[in-house]
Amino acid sequence: MRERLIPTLLAVAALVVLSGCRGETSASAERIELTDEYVNPENTFAGDAGARFLNLGEYSIVRKAGYVEVHDGAGRTLALVPRGATPPEGYEPSMIIPMPVERVAVYSNFDVAMLHVLGRDEAIVALTAPEDKWHVDYVKKGYEEGRITYVGEPGSIDYERLKTAHPDMVMTWDPSIVPMMDSLGIPVLVTSTPVATCLSTQIRFVEFLAPFFGEEEKARAFYQRVKGALEGIRAKTAGLPKPKAMWGDIYEKRVLVEPGNAWVAELIGLAQSDYLFDDVYGTSCIEVSIERFLYSGSDADLYFTYRSVGKSMYSKEGLLRINPLLAGLKPLTPAGKSFAPLPHYSQSADRLDDLLIEISAILHPEAYPGHELEYFTELPDTDAQAAAKLKEREKDGSGSRSS
C-alpha cells in the first residue's frame, strides 16, 4: 500500500496505503477504461510537436527534446535530465532530477512496492519505517546489508541522517517537507494528491514513475498483468448476486471510510458488488458521521476494517472490545462476514493483481472455489477461535512474504 494524513492517523495510513491519496476524479466502475494507450501522440504541448505525453489525474509526463517534464501530485513542475547533460532553462536547481535516479528516499509503502516492480530495490537508500515494521524480504535485505537507512517517522525526520544517505530525490506523500528539502538541495517528488486514488491511477501509477528510472518496459508489463486480472474479475463476477460492502473504521474521535472515488470502491463495483459509501467523494480515509457509518453498516453483508490483526484485535469480539459502537454493524454479528488486512498487505502493491483478485474472491467466494486468503483474514466471532486460527497461521509462516 498510498498517505496525505495528519501524524495521528499515520497508523491508518500504513494500512490503507494501497488506497492512497494519489488520484483522479472518476467515481464509477462503469467508466473504467482498460486501455492499452500509454502515450497519446495528440496530447502535446505547443512547440513540442511529437512529444510523448502521459496523464494520470494530477500527474503528467511530457518527453521534450533532451529531457522529461513532470508534474507531480502537488502540481509542481520538475525536469528529469540525463546525468551529465546541461539542465534546461526555467527550472530551479531543486526542480532538476538526474535520470536515471540511482538513490531515493521513500515515505510510502506503495512507492517502495512500485520500485520493486521496476526492479530498482537497490535504489532505495532511506525509509521512514524501521526494519522491524517491514514484512517483505527485499526491504529486510536492504536493511541487513546496510544499504537502507531509517531516517525517522514521517512526523520526526532526522534530516541530517537523510542528507547523509545522499538521495537523488525524496518520494513523499507530505508536500510540507519541500521547503526543508530545498534548503538541503534534495529534489522532492510528491506522490499524493488531495483526492483518493481511482482504480485507473492505482494500476498505472508505475508508468508515471518508470521514466525516473528508465524502466518503461517493466512498468508496461506490470500494467498488462494487472489489466488482465481486472478483465478476469469482470468476467468471473458477471451476473452474480451483488453483496453490499463497506470499508473503514471508527476511531476515538473520528470515523473514516474509503470514498466512492477510491480504487477499492471502484473495484467493488467492477466485481458486481454494491459499495455502501459510493456517494462519498474525497480523499482516502475521509471522515463521515458515526450515524452514517452505522446506518450503512446495518445493511452491509461484508465489512473490511482498516485495522490489521495484532495484539488487541484478532476477532469480531476483539474489534467490539476496542469500540463497542461497532456492534451496530451487521457484518460483526455471527451471521455476517468481516475481514482485516494481514500485516504485509500494505507492502504488497507489487502484487496488485493478486490483491484485486483476493478482494473479488472475498466478495464472491462462489466464483473462486478453493481460494486461500493471503492478504486478508476473515475475523472469527470470538478470541478463542482467533487464537486457534493465529496458531495455525504462525505455523504456516503467514504474516510476511518473500519477494
Instruction: Note the pLDDT tens digit of each residue in 119-136.
Output: 999 999 999 999 999 999
In a domain, 229, yes or no: no
Q: Which domain holds residue 371?
A: 237-396
**What's the gap between Cα 27 and its chain centre?**
17
pLDDT at 396: 66
Do 191 and 303 fall within a single domain?
no
Q: Which long-range contacts (CB under 8 A, 24 or more apart) does 275-278 make?
A: 275/245, 275/246, 275/247, 276/244, 276/245, 276/246, 276/300, 277/246, 277/247, 277/248, 278/27
Integer Cα distance of 85 and 211 in angstroms: 16
Distances (CA, A) of 88 to 92, 119, 281, 358: 10, 29, 39, 46
Angle at 77 between CA 76 and CA 79, to 5 degrees: 140
Do 95 and 204 fall within a single domain?
yes
Q: Give the model confidence (pLDDT) of 44-100 as tens digits.
A: 333 333 446 788 878 999 999 899 999 999 999 999 999 999 999 999 999 999 999
Position 400 confidence tier, pLDDT thresholds 50, 70, 90:
low
pLDDT at 1: 45
387, HSE (Cβ side, Cα atoms, 13 Å):
3
Residue where one domain finishes, among candidates 180, 213, 246: 213
Buried b (16+ CB within 10 A) or exposed e, 65-98: eebbbbbbbbebebbbbeeeeebeeebeebbbbb
pLDDT at 131: 97
> How does DSSP classify residue 382?
S
* Most confident by average pLDDT, 123-137, 183-197, 243-257: 123-137
Q: What are phi and psi of 166, to 5 degrees?
A: 55, 55
Do 19 and 135 fall within a single domain?
yes
For residue 364, pLDDT over 60 is answered with yes
In a domain, 226, yes or no: no
pLDDT at 6: 34
In a domain, 227, yes or no: no
pLDDT at 126: 98
Do 327 and 207 fall within a single domain?
no
Residues 245-255: what's their mean pLDDT? Answer: 91
Average pLDDT, the chain: 85
Do 208 and 242 fall within a single domain?
no
For residue 37, pLDDT over 70 is answered with no
In a domain, 344, yes or no: yes
Q: Give the model confidence (pLDDT) of 42-59 as tens digits.
A: 333 333 334 467 888 789
With the C-alpha atoms ordered 157, 158, 159, 163, is the resulting torsion angle positive or negative?
Answer: negative
* Rg of the chain in Å (alpha carbons): 21
- CATH number where 37 lies: 3.40.50.1980
pLDDT at 319: 87
**Beta bridge mates, 201:** none
Residue 156, SS3? helix
Of 198 and 41, more confident: 198
Structural domain count, the chain: 2
Do 169 and 314 fall within a single domain?
no
Of 256 and 401, more confident: 256
Q: What are phi and psi of 367, to 5 degrees?
A: -90, -10
pLDDT at 312: 66
Q: What are phi and psi of 11, to 5 degrees?
A: -65, -40
In a domain, 222, yes or no: no
Do 201 and 256 fall within a single domain?
no
Q: What percent of the chain has pLDDT over 90?
A: 70
pLDDT at 12: 43
Do 143 and 187 fall within a single domain?
yes
For residue 18, pLDDT over 60 is answered with no
Position 25 confidence tier, pLDDT thresholds 50, 70, 90:
very low
Position 191 confidence tier, pLDDT thresholds 50, 70, 90:
very high
Do 281 and 192 fall within a single domain?
no
For residue 8, pLDDT over 50 is answered with no
Among 22-26, 232-236, 306-310, 394-398, the range scoring the smallest mean pLDDT is 22-26
Do 155 and 252 fall within a single domain?
no
Do 83 and 170 fall within a single domain?
yes
Residues 261-273: what's their mean pLDDT? Answer: 94
In a domain, 401, yes or no: no
pLDDT at 9: 39
In a domain, 209, yes or no: yes
Position 391 confidence tier, pLDDT thresholds 50, 70, 90:
confident
CB 21 within 8 A of CB 195: yes
Do 204 and 248 fall within a single domain?
no
In a domain, 228, yes or no: no
